[in-house]
A and B are shown apart, each in its own frame.
Chain A
Amino acid sequence: MGILFFYSFRNLLTRRLTTSLTALGMALVVFVFSAIIMLAEGLQKTLVDTGFYDNVVVIRKSSVSEVQSGIDRDQAAIVTTRPEIAIDTSGKPMIAKELVVLITLQKRNGNGASNVVIRGISESSFELRPQIHLIEGRLPRPGSSEIMVGKSISGAFNNAGYNERLFFGMRHWRVVGVFDAGSTGYSSEIWGDVDQMMPAFRRPVYSSILFRLRDTREFESVKDRIETDPRLTLEAKRETVYYREQSEMMATFLRILGTSLTLIFSIGAVVGAMITMYAAVANRTSEIGVLRALGFSRLTILAAFLMESLFLGLTGGLIGLFFASFMQFITVSTTNFQTFSELAFNFSLTVTIAVQSLSFSLFMGFAGGILPAFRASRMNIIDALRDV
């Protein structure tokens, strides 16, 4: 197959302009395909990374997210007494009762307004989230109107920078710190003392309870006890599972959007490849005749032309993927449909996405090449040889 491989490859090189234009068409489709899948992956990765495997989130049954959840103080007190909760080095249980509220803030540079998550935190909230580090200032003091903001919020919203004052919940809050939570959802949140936030927002109930398991194997039993306790109307999830669910709706939407868009675009690219390949077959009719006369089978001719088309697809795929890989350096900030809050995340390129994109480009090459290749293989030898 060596020479036939070179035959296909060199034919593409000979028709550089046509090859380049067709491959670029395919590259564009692969770029859109991989970029949207990378976007969905980035969103999901950001939210999943937000969670910590040994942490358990407790919310009101059927509430889907912390924003819709409400846990009254009596129920929170019952959960706090669970023996499965880990104890920290100072002997305190690693549990945080938190409030989550959405507020609207104006973006900097007049880019409109967006929903932002305000999280009322307890003393253990930092300890339960080891991925969070202060990058500027200090932690808010309990009992004060001080807040700290995620780095995605600090630069993106009016008055949310370090040492600025934000107004919400009928009072001013001073930004005393900026924290970095890496590529997690917390980077898009504002944190302050839960006991200050609850009266400010006139909320008598917590939104969620977060605690660390003393033994990861005890998750099923603690989940069962919380969910079957007749005094409680709560459900417990591992934090990673909770955040994966938070990303599912938007990630699925993005994937469906990406697949639909690229399917429509790919029709154009496949037609382009088909035209190129039909032209290649028409220009090389006498060559096909010679190959057949020399004894090459119809299947070999079909394979040679199909290989050429697959080369085209692969070239387009590699170009598209190359340019899509640069999208990883871009951070997108948008509203997560499921939580209605602003979330900043990066495009994320994974091996799976690369394989999917290249497979898609090969599929386009196959779809564009199969009919012309079939035509080439069906040619009558005498008629083909006469075509000079």
Chain B
Amino acid sequence: MPSIIDVQNVSKYYHRGAESIQVLDNISLTIETGQFLALMGPSGSGKSTLLNLIAGLDQADQGRIVVDGLDITRLSETQLANWRAGHVGFIFQFYNLIPVLTALENVELPLMLSRLNRKERREHAQTALALVSLDDRMRHYPRQLSGGQQQRVAIARAIVTDPTLLVADEPTGDLDRNSAEDVLTLLDSLTRDLGKTIVMVTHDPRAARKAHVMKYLEKGLLTDAPQAVVSECV
């Protein structure tokens, strides 16, 4: 399989006054097209930071990140925003749906930045909601949906633009066991059936178990997962 994401010698620092804290230390990572990668590690290890860099939400201090042949570290803020709109789908731990919009409108939201007309946008959003089996909840507001349903709406929002890459930050972190299982099965089917590349940050061994590849971050260094973590995920 060809690689879709190529992270080359990436370092990232956070600055607190005069103090500079290294969060990522010379990270290199290759992710293949259609791969489902789980990033694990203790809190503060830099997992989310790496995910944000790959998703174009933040800029690396050193190194290059090439996604689908494009070096995103060279893009301006506006170019990055346009790139995200077309190429990245986001799934967050707390779903982050807009409470005043219905499920359909939430899913339609990313398409506002496309060239589709209103009818086409509605059709795309309905298809995405049908894919996550929520076509009967289109007119519901987030508060009228369970946690699992809200996360499925968030997944529909993430895939509606047919992005190259899906990034998920603790997608099961706020869900009960059954809802988490539904969401993981859905993510698994996205890679299996639609060939989507997924990068997921998780603490949950059950979630990691669904991934094709597992990487472990500790103190900003990328390593293979320790045996104890691997055995927990098997």
Give me the interface of A with B, judged by CB distance under 8 Å: 1-4, 6-7, 10-11, 13-14, 286-287, 289-297, 381-382, 385, 388
A276 to B5 Cα, complex, angstroms:
44
How many pairs of residues, A versus B, come closer than 8 Å at their CB atoms?
Answer: 67
Q: Which of B35-43, B64-72, B76-84, B196-204 contacts A (4 or more CB under 8 A)?
A: B76-84
Which of A6, A14, A289, A382 contacts B105, CB < 8 Å? A6
A7 to B105 Cα, complex, angstroms:
10
Which of B55, B83, B98, B108 contacts A290, CB < 8 Å? B98
Secondary structure dominating the interface of B: helix
> Nearest-CB distance from A333 to chain B (Å)?
51
Give 18 A-B contacts (CB < 8 Å), ordered by A residue.
A3-B105, A3-B109, A3-B112, A7-B98, A10-B101, A11-B100, A13-B100, A286-B96, A291-B109, A293-B57, A295-B81, A295-B82, A295-B85, A295-B113, A296-B85, A296-B112, A297-B78, A382-B58
Question: Is A10 within 8 A of B100, CB to CB?
Answer: yes
Q: Smallest CB-CB separation from A9: which chain B residue?
A: B100
> Nearest-CB distance from A296 to chain B (Å)?
7
> For the complex, is B13 an interface residue (Cβ under 8 Å from A)?
no
Question: Is A287 within 8 A of B98, CB to CB?
Answer: yes
Question: Is B84 within 8 A of A295, CB to CB?
Answer: yes
Q: Which residues in A have their C-beta under 8 angstroms from that of B98?
A: 7, 287, 290-291
A150 to B230 Cα, complex, angstroms:
101
Question: Is A7 within 8 A of B101, CB to CB?
Answer: yes
Give me the interface of B with A, judged by CB distance under 8 Å: 52, 55, 57-58, 78, 81-86, 90, 92, 94, 96, 98-101, 105, 108-110, 112-113, 118
Secondary structure dominating the interface of A: helix
Q: Which residues in B have their C-beta under 8 angstroms from that of A385?
A: 57, 92, 96
Question: Is B99 within 8 A of A14, CB to CB?
Answer: yes
> Nearest-CB distance from A378 to chain B (Å)?
12
Q: Which residues in A have their C-beta under 8 angstroms from that of B94?
A: 286, 388
Given contacts A3-B112, A382-B52, 9 further A-B contacts (CB under 8 A): A10-B100, A10-B101, A13-B100, A287-B96, A287-B99, A290-B98, A291-B109, A382-B57, A382-B58
